[in-house]
Amino acid sequence: LLPVVILGFLLQHAIQGWCPPVSIFRRLGMRTKEEIQFELYGLRMLKGDFDEAHEISRMNAGDRVERIMETLNRRI
């Protein structure tokens, strides 16, 4: 019986983009992947992770790639 109910919810979600458990999950604080990514980018902006972006945009392509690779290697 439970698999049939779950299948019904999945079918409704596929057709309409909504089903009753979605509102329950939202009330419990679950968020979509897009909402989490948006918040992470906001926090990264506040932290200053993108401060070099303006400086990098004025470089030529070769220097730009080199600078980005250096930055990525520092973070690993």
Instruction: List per-residue pLDDT tens for the chain, 76 residues long.
Output: 899 999 998 898 899 887 888 888 889 998 888 889 888 888 887 787 777 777 777 888 888 888 877 877 776 5
At residue 24, the pLDDT reads 86
**Considering its fold, how many domains does the chain have in total?**
2
Same domain, residue pair 14 and 41: no
Q: Are 44 and 50 in contact (CB under 8 A)?
A: yes
At residue 55, the pLDDT reads 76
At residue 3, the pLDDT reads 93
Same domain, residue pair 1 and 26: yes
CA distance 76 to 63: 20
Residue type, 17: G
At residue 75, the pLDDT reads 60
Domain limits at 15? 1-30
Same domain, residue pair 50 and 70: yes
At residue 67, the pLDDT reads 81
Number of H-type helices and E-type strands within the chain: 5, 0
Same domain, residue pair 58 and 72: yes
Residues 6 or more apart whose Cβ sits within 8 Å of residue 68: 56
Same domain, residue pair 43 and 54: yes
